[in-house]
Structure formats: C-alpha cells, structure tokens
Amino acid sequence: MVFDAFRARLGSIIGGFDAAQSHRRMRGFRATRAHVNTLIAASGETITARARWLVRNNGYAANAVDAFANHVVGDGIKPSSKIADAAKKEELQKLWLAWTDEADAEGLTDFFGLQRRAAREVFLAGEVFLRIRTRRPEDGLTVPMQLQMLPSEMLPPDMTRILPGAGSIRQGIEFDGIGRRVAYHFLRRHPGDMTDPGLAGETVRVPASEVIHILDPVEAGQLRGVSRFAAAVVKLFTLDLYDDAELERKKTAAMFAMFITSPAPETALDPAEDDLEVEPGQVVRLDPGEDVTTPSTPDSGSTYEPFQYRTLLQIGAALGVPYGYLTGDTAKGNFSNTRIALVDFRRRISAFQHSVMVYQLCRAVWTRWMDMAVLAGAIELPGYATDRREYLACDWLPTKWDWIDPAKDASAEILQIEAGLKSRTQAIAERGYDAEQVDREIAAERKREAELGLDFRRPGSPAQAAGGGVGPDDAEDRRQDRQDSDDQEDKGEDRDPRPAKGRE
C-alpha cells in the first residue's frame, strides 16, 4: 500500500501519460489490478444471473442473443471430410448425418441444434460445457456416443484448493503439476433448480477427456468465461426502468381527470355529495362560482427518441451486435452504412465461428466421434490406427451469408469463377456444401433429365457450355449480356428474358 502510494506520487511528479495521472479529471478513477480470474470468481455468477434475467424480461437482450446465435450457426456448421476415397467419404458423411439426429443426450434437438444452444450460452454466460457420454451397444445408436450440455452454473467458481502432490483445483477445474487440465468438478444438481430433489451441493469429478469446455477468452490466463452482457447490463437495466417510467407517465396522462373548484361551503368538513362522471358528448351544468381545471402532465418531449437511439447504440456496441439486429429497426440507416455495419458484424461472427465453435467444439466432437465409430464397427477405415491424422482431416463449412441482392451476388460469383479468381469448390464450400457431393447430385440429375427428355438449364447459362449450347467463344457475349441486364435493372427498365443472340 505504501509502495503504491509512493509510485502514484512519483508518477504525478514525473508526468507522462495522462491516463496514469491523479489530477482532478482522473481523481475518481479507481481501476482494480486484480486478474480477470479473481474478478470472475467474485462476480461472475451475479453477472450471469443478471444477463439471464434481462434475456427473459427485456426484448432488446433477447433479440441480441437470438441474432448472435442465428448468425454463428445458421443451419449448422457442417463437416466435409478430406478422405481421398470418394466411396468411403460418402459412407462416412451419411453415417455422420444419421448420428447428428441422435447426438443430444436429452433428445431435444440434433447436433446442429446443440451448436446453436452452445452459441447462446457462450453469449449469455461466457461459457458452456458439453459432457461426452459413451453409450452401450444395446442402446441402438448409430455411433454409441451422445453429448450432454451443462450450463456454467454447474461448475462452482468458488471451488479452489491445493491437492495432495503437485495438483490444484481452480474455480472447479483440476490441474496437474504442469498446468494441464485433468478434470472438472461438476455439481450433480443445478444450484438454482428446486425441482430436482436431493444431492444439493454434491459434486462429481469428470475427467477432462470427457468434457468439452467452450469459452471465448478475452485475457491471457483466463480460466472461466464472462458474459457478453457484462459491459451492457447497467445500461440495459436502467434504460428499461426509464422506458417503464415514460410508459407510466403516458398512462397517467391518458387518465383524463378534472378538478372542480367551488366557493367556500357553509360547512367545510361536509363531504361532497357525488363525484362528477363525464361521458362523451355530455353537457355538464355547474353551480354558480364553480370552475373546472385539468392537471397538466409533462410529455416525454422531443429528446425521448434521440436519447433512446444513442443509448441503444452504446448497448449494441457493448454487445457487439448492430443496432438493426438489436432493435429490429431498419429505418435508421441507409444501404451504405447498414452494409458497413453488417460486414463488420459478419467478420466478428466469422472469427468466433473458426476460433471458438470449430476449434473448441466441432473438432473435439468429430475426433471423438470418428474414434467411436471405428471402435464400434460402424464404419471400416483401413489403417485408421496408423493414418488417423489423415482420416480426421476435415473442413467445417458454416452457412453462407445472404445478401440483400442475391441475383447480383450470384452474377458476381459467376464472373469470379470464369475469371479464375475462385474455384467452384471454393464457391460451393462458402455456401456450406461439399463440392464433390454437389457434383454427384448434378450428374445424377443430368442423367435423369436426359432419360426423361428434360432440360431445365437456362439458355445461355454457363452450364450449357459443356453440352454445346454455348461455346467458349461466346463467353464475352454472356458477360456483356449480364452487364446490359444489370444496367437495365438499375435504370428500372424491363429485362428482356431472351438470350442475347435471340434479340432483334
């Protein structure tokens, strides 16, 4: 304490950074030097409880969580195996797809639904746990393995102690002597679930190999997650109180009331005979000397909406969610600034998808699932024990982003493929599909169409080039035709449905 005071005094004398000074403007700024683990252990449960309350009771908070989870997962982050053998790859993909319907130990959703629930929990509580549950062969599963989701409250943050030997437990996580995670000490019952009798406070030790801990750490050495609402709880709650007060003000103003002033009565303590009730269109006669006044209730004024807008912008910035997704209000921005906010939001989502969802959740589940599938005999992969790394190689494909003008987006993508700036494989992967599977489906459709004498390909499309409908010499005509069509759409002109060579 004495050294800190001396250092602060020395800093004020030497000068340098204003941010470290103790002058008048910064006198009330008392920043803690405690590590994030200490802060989470002290207040993490309270922040999570308040975040959950806001999502249950505040529309903006609920909208933010849904927007985040929907963009992170969409229809699901799906795997595309890199096995060279096409037949084995297709067999593996079919087996995986069949297992996804059985993945949830609670039986409430599939594996992609678990991804969405995990994304919600990480946004809400900062972390979530998935326990890998190995099943018996007689359970009748495609692959004898399921996933059980456990919320952050199931791991007590106050469980910290030194173990015999070189190990320790920190915030419910057991570490060995060199800092590796060995086990998790979960509560058998949720501490807030009063419908589950017994076992209150009892913990069970689960090996770390059976647990998938998903969190988005913000500081080095962080052990547990912290809610995304940490920086927005105060403003969300106080804005809700302010909005309720304005609603009550309007409600009071809507209750039309009158005060009748009469001359001093003969007996001041006598009660009035009857209250005066007024109906629409009624003519009221007053006694001589009586006067009617109505109370003046203050209006919310012209500052109400700008104040709400600016506060919601701050809340959106704290949550990392654009204003439009937070409020559902699309009238506040034009196309350009909306697109800028959308691109930035999708960059954040893409980073979260690959660094958290894919790296921590999808890879771990895929690795354990492949091992279980081979051990259970659900699929035969020759040389799996020696070539395990090659068999585990996999691409995880998120759902493709949808833009406001999908027609122009598709045209731009076709031009990039034709110019050699991207491959069809890359374009299909960006849409969340496997290129080899799509090609097999297209080939099967073309074969079936040929047998039935059908052809649904648009004249002049690139798909007809291989069949001789349009040759490579007409590539420039096709591009010019698309450019002319786009120019007509921009000018509001009708688009000619005929191909370029058929127009006169």
Asked whether the predicted pLDDT for residue 30 surpasses 90, the reply is: no
Asked whether the predicted pLDDT for residue 227 surpasses 90, the reply is: yes
Asked whether the predicted pLDDT for residue 282 surpasses 80, the reply is: no
Spatial distance between the Cα atoms of 344 and 328, rounded to a whole number of angstroms = 18
What was the pLDDT predicted at 467? 46
pLDDT in tens, 14-29: 667 777 777 777 777 8
Q: What is the four-CA torsion angle of 255, 261, 264, 265, rounded to 10 degrees?
A: -60
What was the pLDDT predicted at 10? 61
Spatial distance between the Cα atoms of 29 and 49, rounded to a whole number of angstroms = 27
What was the pLDDT predicted at 11? 59
Asked whether the predicted pLDDT for residue 486 surpasses 60, the reply is: no
Per-position b or e across 72-109, b if 16+ CB within 10 A of its CB: bbbebbbbbbebeeeebbbbbbebbeebbebbbbeeeb
Residue 473 — pLDDT band, cuts 50, 70, 90? very low
What was the pLDDT predicted at 497? 45
Mean of the per-residue pLDDT values of the chain = 83
Residue 78 — pLDDT band, cuts 50, 70, 90? very high
pLDDT in tens, 121-164: 999 999 999 999 999 989 999 999 999 999 999 999 999 999 98
| Rounded mean pLDDT, 43-70 | 94
What was the pLDDT predicted at 319? 94
Question: Rounded to two decimals, what is the model's pTM?
Answer: 0.76
What was the pLDDT predicted at 503? 43
Q: Flag the least confident range among 67-76, 273-282, 294-303.
A: 273-282
Both tokens assigned to 173: 């996580």
Spatial distance between the Cα atoms of 318 and 313, rounded to a whole number of angstroms = 9
Asked whether the predicted pLDDT for residue 471 surpasses 50, the reply is: no
Q: Of the segments 28-37, 248-257, 428-437, which one has the largest average pLDDT value? A: 28-37
Question: Closest Cα to residue 236, out of 91, 61, 105?
Answer: 61
Residue found by looking up tokens 């090609």 in the block:
439
Spatial distance between the Cα atoms of 264 and 258, rounded to a whole number of angstroms = 18
